[in-house]
Copies of this chain bind each other. A is one copy, B any other.
Protein backbone atom coordinates (compact mmCIF):
# COMPACT_ATOMS: atom_id res chain seq x y z
CA UNK A 1 0.00 0.00 0.00
CA UNK A 2 2.68 2.45 1.04
CA UNK A 3 4.65 3.83 -1.89
CA UNK A 4 8.40 3.91 -1.72
CA UNK A 5 8.39 7.43 -3.08
CA UNK A 6 6.57 8.59 0.02
CA UNK A 7 9.12 7.07 2.37
CA UNK A 8 12.05 9.20 1.29
CA UNK A 9 12.11 12.52 3.04
CA UNK A 10 10.96 15.43 0.94
CA UNK A 11 12.84 18.69 1.22
CA UNK A 12 12.78 22.15 -0.25
CA UNK A 13 13.12 22.44 -4.02
CA UNK A 14 14.13 26.06 -3.72
CA UNK A 15 12.14 29.24 -3.42
CA UNK A 16 8.92 27.69 -4.72
CA UNK A 17 6.12 25.48 -3.55
CA UNK A 18 6.86 21.78 -3.57
CA UNK A 19 3.99 20.10 -5.46
CA UNK A 20 4.92 16.72 -4.02
CA UNK A 21 4.34 18.03 -0.52
CA UNK A 22 1.09 19.64 -1.56
CA UNK A 23 -0.12 16.40 -3.04
CA UNK A 24 1.04 14.33 -0.08
CA UNK A 25 -0.75 16.64 2.34
CA UNK A 26 -4.05 16.60 0.46
CA UNK A 27 -3.79 12.84 0.01
CA UNK A 28 -3.09 12.27 3.70
CA UNK A 29 -5.92 14.59 4.68
CA UNK A 30 -8.40 12.67 2.55
CA UNK A 31 -7.24 9.31 3.88
CA UNK A 32 -7.61 10.46 7.46
CA UNK A 33 -11.13 11.73 6.79
CA UNK A 34 -12.11 8.44 5.19
CA UNK A 35 -10.55 6.25 7.86
CA UNK A 36 -11.27 8.22 11.01
CA UNK A 37 -13.75 10.93 10.11
CA UNK A 38 -13.66 14.57 11.09
CA UNK A 39 -12.83 13.64 14.67
CA UNK A 40 -9.46 12.25 13.61
CA UNK A 41 -8.78 15.15 11.28
CA UNK A 42 -6.15 17.39 12.85
CA UNK A 43 -3.26 19.32 11.38
CA UNK A 44 -0.89 17.28 13.52
CA UNK A 45 -2.29 14.03 12.19
CA UNK A 46 -2.14 15.21 8.57
CA UNK A 47 1.44 16.41 9.01
CA UNK A 48 2.48 13.10 10.55
CA UNK A 49 0.86 11.03 7.84
CA UNK A 50 2.18 13.19 5.01
CA UNK A 51 5.63 13.38 6.61
CA UNK A 52 5.32 17.12 6.31
CA UNK A 53 6.06 19.89 8.76
CA UNK A 54 3.20 21.75 10.37
CA UNK A 55 4.55 25.13 9.21
CA UNK A 56 4.41 23.85 5.64
CA UNK A 57 0.70 23.18 6.02
CA UNK A 58 -0.02 26.46 7.75
CA UNK A 59 1.92 28.34 5.09
CA UNK A 60 -0.41 27.19 2.33
CA UNK A 61 -3.66 26.62 4.15
CA UNK A 62 -4.72 29.29 6.65
CA UNK A 63 -6.82 26.91 8.72
CA UNK A 64 -8.03 23.37 9.15
CA UNK A 65 -11.29 24.42 7.56
CA UNK A 66 -9.61 25.62 4.37
CA UNK A 67 -7.63 22.41 4.06
CA UNK A 68 -10.86 20.47 4.45
CA UNK A 69 -12.56 22.53 1.75
CA UNK A 70 -9.57 21.97 -0.52
CA UNK A 71 -9.86 18.21 -0.06
CA UNK A 72 -13.55 18.49 -0.81
CA UNK A 73 -13.04 20.39 -4.06
CA UNK A 74 -10.66 17.71 -5.31
CA UNK A 75 -13.48 15.18 -5.22
CA UNK A 76 -14.90 14.09 -8.52
CA UNK A 77 -18.35 15.30 -9.48
CA UNK A 78 -21.55 13.29 -9.71
CA UNK A 79 -23.65 14.10 -12.75
CA UNK A 80 -26.53 16.05 -11.26
CA UNK A 81 -28.35 16.66 -14.55
CA UNK A 82 -28.71 13.35 -16.43
CA UNK A 83 -31.09 13.10 -19.38
CA UNK A 84 -33.01 9.84 -19.41
CA UNK A 85 -36.04 11.24 -21.20
CA UNK A 86 -38.40 11.44 -18.23
CA UNK A 87 -38.34 13.45 -15.01
CA UNK A 88 -38.83 10.35 -12.93
CA UNK A 89 -35.90 8.66 -14.64
CA UNK A 90 -33.72 11.72 -14.22
CA UNK A 91 -34.58 12.06 -10.54
CA UNK A 92 -33.90 8.39 -9.89
CA UNK A 93 -30.59 8.70 -11.69
CA UNK A 94 -29.52 11.71 -9.64
CA UNK A 95 -30.45 10.11 -6.33
CA UNK A 96 -28.96 6.77 -7.25
CA UNK A 97 -25.74 8.42 -8.40
CA UNK A 98 -25.39 10.56 -5.30
CA UNK A 99 -26.15 7.86 -2.75
CA UNK A 100 -23.99 5.33 -4.52
CA UNK A 101 -21.06 7.72 -4.77
CA UNK A 102 -21.31 8.63 -1.12
CA UNK A 103 -21.58 4.99 -0.12
CA UNK A 104 -18.80 3.50 -2.22
CA UNK A 105 -16.26 6.25 -2.83
CA UNK A 106 -14.48 8.45 -0.35
CA UNK A 107 -16.87 11.27 -1.19
CA UNK A 108 -19.35 10.41 1.53
CA UNK A 109 -16.90 10.71 4.40
CA UNK A 110 -15.48 13.94 3.01
CA UNK A 111 -18.84 15.57 2.40
CA UNK A 112 -20.17 14.59 5.83
CA UNK A 113 -17.12 16.26 7.30
CA UNK A 114 -17.67 19.43 5.30
CA UNK A 115 -21.27 19.68 6.42
CA UNK A 116 -20.30 19.06 10.03
CA UNK A 117 -17.56 21.67 9.80
CA UNK A 118 -20.06 24.15 8.37
CA UNK A 119 -22.03 23.88 11.61
CA UNK A 120 -19.04 25.23 13.52
CA UNK A 121 -17.30 27.48 11.04
CA UNK A 122 -19.16 30.34 9.29
CA UNK A 123 -16.61 30.40 6.46
CA UNK A 124 -17.24 26.74 5.70
CA UNK A 125 -20.99 27.33 5.94
CA UNK A 126 -20.85 30.20 3.48
CA UNK A 127 -18.62 28.33 1.05
CA UNK A 128 -20.87 25.31 1.20
CA UNK A 129 -24.00 27.40 0.68
CA UNK A 130 -22.55 29.14 -2.36
CA UNK A 131 -21.39 25.87 -3.86
CA UNK A 132 -24.74 24.19 -3.33
CA UNK A 133 -26.65 27.12 -4.81
CA UNK A 134 -24.60 26.75 -7.95
CA UNK A 135 -25.11 23.01 -8.16
CA UNK A 136 -28.87 23.32 -7.71
CA UNK A 137 -29.01 25.88 -10.46
CA UNK A 138 -27.18 23.42 -12.72
CA UNK A 139 -29.24 20.44 -11.61
CA UNK A 140 -32.43 22.37 -12.18
CA UNK A 141 -31.85 21.64 -15.87
CA UNK A 142 -33.78 18.42 -15.35
CA UNK A 143 -36.91 20.39 -14.58
CA UNK A 144 -36.36 23.06 -17.20
CA UNK A 145 -36.31 20.28 -19.78
CA UNK A 146 -39.39 18.74 -18.23
CA UNK A 147 -41.17 22.08 -18.42
CA UNK A 148 -40.34 22.36 -22.11
CA UNK A 149 -41.76 18.88 -22.63
CA UNK A 150 -44.86 19.93 -20.74
CA UNK A 151 -44.10 17.27 -18.17
CA UNK A 152 -43.59 19.73 -15.31
CA UNK A 153 -45.79 22.63 -14.28
CA UNK A 154 -44.62 26.17 -15.02
CA UNK A 155 -44.93 27.33 -11.43
CA UNK A 156 -42.19 24.92 -10.37
CA UNK A 157 -38.86 26.57 -9.58
CA UNK A 158 -36.26 24.23 -11.14
CA UNK A 159 -33.48 25.10 -8.70
CA UNK A 160 -35.76 24.76 -5.72
CA UNK A 161 -37.09 21.42 -6.95
CA UNK A 162 -33.52 20.17 -7.20
CA UNK A 163 -32.86 21.43 -3.68
CA UNK A 164 -35.68 19.27 -2.36
CA UNK A 165 -34.19 16.19 -3.98
CA UNK A 166 -30.67 16.91 -2.75
CA UNK A 167 -32.09 17.57 0.70
CA UNK A 168 -33.35 14.03 0.87
CA UNK A 169 -29.93 12.69 -0.14
CA UNK A 170 -28.24 14.90 2.46
CA UNK A 171 -30.59 13.63 5.12
CA UNK A 172 -29.77 10.02 4.31
CA UNK A 173 -26.06 10.77 4.32
CA UNK A 174 -26.20 12.57 7.65
CA UNK A 175 -28.22 9.84 9.36
CA UNK A 176 -26.03 7.08 7.90
CA UNK A 177 -28.84 5.51 5.90
CA UNK A 178 -27.40 5.46 2.38
CA UNK A 179 -28.21 1.79 1.87
CA UNK A 180 -31.72 2.38 0.64
CA UNK A 181 -33.40 -0.45 -1.31
CA UNK A 182 -33.96 0.16 -4.98
CA UNK A 183 -37.74 -0.08 -4.85
CA UNK A 184 -37.84 2.42 -2.01
CA UNK A 185 -35.67 4.77 -4.00
CA UNK A 186 -37.98 4.29 -7.00
CA UNK A 187 -40.94 5.27 -4.85
CA UNK A 188 -39.15 8.41 -3.69
CA UNK A 189 -38.27 9.29 -7.28
CA UNK A 190 -41.88 8.66 -8.27
CA UNK A 191 -43.13 10.95 -5.53
CA UNK A 192 -40.72 13.72 -6.50
CA UNK A 193 -41.72 13.33 -10.15
CA UNK A 194 -45.34 13.57 -9.05
CA UNK A 195 -44.54 16.77 -7.18
CA UNK A 196 -43.74 18.72 -10.32
CA UNK A 197 -46.57 17.38 -12.49
CA UNK A 198 -48.83 19.92 -14.13
Contact = CB atoms under 8 A, between A and B. Distances in A.
A174 interface: yes
B116 A120 contact: yes
A155 interface: yes
B176 A167 contact: no
A116 to B, nearest CB: 4
Contacts of A155: 187, 190
A132 B171 CA distance: 11
Contacts of A132: 175
A85 interface: no
A84 interface: no
Q: How large is the interface on A (under 10, 10 to 19, 20 to 34, 35 or more residues)?
A: 35 or more
Interface in A158-177: 160-161, 163-164, 166-168, 170-171, 174-177
A78 B118 CA distance: 25
A72 B161 CA distance: 31
Interface of A: 37-39, 112-113, 115-116, 118-121, 125, 128-129, 132, 153, 155-157, 160-161, 163-164, 166-168, 170-171, 174-177, 184, 187-188, 190-192, 194-197
